[in-house]
Amino acid sequence: MDHHILEWLAFGGFVLAMLALDLGVFNRKDHVIGAKEALAWSAVWVALALAFGGYVWWQHGATSGLEYYTGYVIEKSLSVDNIFVFVVIFGALGIPPLYQHRVLFWGILTALVLRGAMIAAGAALLQRFHWVIYVFGALLIVTGVKLFLARGQAESPEHSALFKLLKRTVPSTPRLDGNHFFTVENGKRVATPLFFALALIELTDVVFAVDSIPAIFAVTQDPYIVFTSNIFAILGLRSLYFLLAGFVEKFTYLKPSLAAVLVFVGAKMALIDFVKVHPAVSLGVIVAILTVGVLASVAANRRAAAADARTSRPAATESGRA
């Protein structure tokens, strides 16, 4: 059997084994994922992703290794935007933390299949029609500009036309029935809020994949590198959600930095026939942009906290005098 086919099969087997361990062993019973558990799982997924990158570097060369790491960083950073939306979805539909892991597990399992299909389609298009690369580049630039202009605006996927259509066509109940996606009421099978949360999460992932997959094709057109870097980032998304959900909105400048990343990789893609950017340079630029966004957010939060402290101090003094 061809060595490359064996690599694909081995990676697929690894993903299935990890998913089986996740739901079948470590999370057989519904429980609230705490910060320590989320941090531990995030560390595991990042370590596995970095180790796999080492394998790619050793097996396929330094260029492929750098392309894998760049693709992983792009997808990992863009997936943070998913977390903003997940918080809104769970809050709007009243999904308690006890059942959120189950919804995310099945949502991400579906996302793995859809991502694989989209990557295969994208690779086939690029191989057959070179001009598609310019379309992908323009799409990323436009998306980056729209993301920058939309910063600070609340996202409400539950108000989307597709979700309203789903609510009209699928019999439903506002009542939760444990961790079930469907239940029976008055002799009829109806969908619970968990089902609609799952549907919204899958819809959200498809929308985000339209941006993130072309972004990785801007780095490499090797389907194996695109797929593996994408999947490793997605596998760690659930633990990242439970780790960051409580304070993700404090990253004020993260969305502008994500917008800058999209514009950068879009321009790189659009100019691919005229300007060659080494993978190491791409990785460095993307990491630098994201670092600036995180540090600017931390600085802004510190300034806001200091301002609040100065404001509350005179009030405390006045009450003490009284």
pLDDT of the residue at 30: 77
CA 22, chain centre distance (Å): 19
pLDDT of the residue at 228: 94
Rounded distance between C-alpha atoms, residue 285 and residue 282, angstroms: 5
Name the token pair of 236: 């760690």
Rounded distance between C-alpha atoms, residue 160 and residue 157, angstroms: 5
- For residues 1-28, give the mean pLDDT: 78
Rounded distance between C-alpha atoms, residue 296 and residue 291, angstroms: 8
- For residues 232-245, give the mean pLDDT: 86
Is the pLDDT score of 73 beyond 80? Answer: yes
Is the pLDDT score of 164 beyond 70? Answer: yes
Summarised one tens digit per residue, pLDDT across range 258-305 is 888 888 888 888 887 887 778 788 888 888 988 888 888 888 888 877
Is the pLDDT score of 20 beyond 50? Answer: yes
φ, ψ of residue 128 to 5 degrees: the values are: -90, -35
Residue located via tokens 């750098």: 66
Are 229 and 75 spatial neighbours (Cβ–Cβ below 8 Å)? yes
Is the pLDDT score of 52 beyond 80? Answer: yes
Percent of the chain residues topping a pLDDT of 70? 89
Give residue 63's pLDDT band: very low, low, confident or very high (50, 70, 90): very high
First to last CA, the chain: 85
222 contacts: CB under 8 Å, gap ≥ 6: 64, 67
Give residue 112's pLDDT band: very low, low, confident or very high (50, 70, 90): confident
Give ∠ CA 295-297-299 in degrees, rounded to 5.
70
Rounded distance between C-alpha atoms, residue 240 and residue 69, angstroms: 18
Are 227 and 272 spatial neighbours (Cβ–Cβ below 8 Å)? no
Is the pLDDT score of 58 beyond 90? Answer: yes
Are 152 and 274 spatial neighbours (Cβ–Cβ below 8 Å)? no
pLDDT of the residue at 56: 94
Give the number of other Cβ atoms within 10 Å of residue 33's Cβ: 20
257 contacts: CB under 8 Å, gap ≥ 6: 289, 290, 292, 293, 294, 296
Is the pLDDT score of 307 beyond 70? Answer: yes
Query: Which residues are 182's β-sheet partners?
Result: 191
Burial of 111 (0-12, 13-18, 19+ CB in 10 A): buried
Closest by alpha carbon to 289, among 265, 311, 267, 269? 265
Are 49 and 233 spatial neighbours (Cβ–Cβ below 8 Å)? yes
Rounded distance between C-alpha atoms, residue 141 and residue 275, angstroms: 17
Angle between helices 237-244 and 62-93 (to 10 degrees): 50
Give residue 224's pLDDT band: very low, low, confident or very high (50, 70, 90): very high
pLDDT of the residue at 190: 92
Rounded distance between C-alpha atoms, residue 81 and residue 261, angstroms: 13
Residue located via tokens 């910060």: 35
Residue located via tokens 């994208």: 122
Is the pLDDT score of 318 beyond 70? Answer: no
What type of residue is 114?
L
> Would you list the domain boundaries of the chain?
37-305
Query: Which residues are 115's β-sheet partners?
Result: none
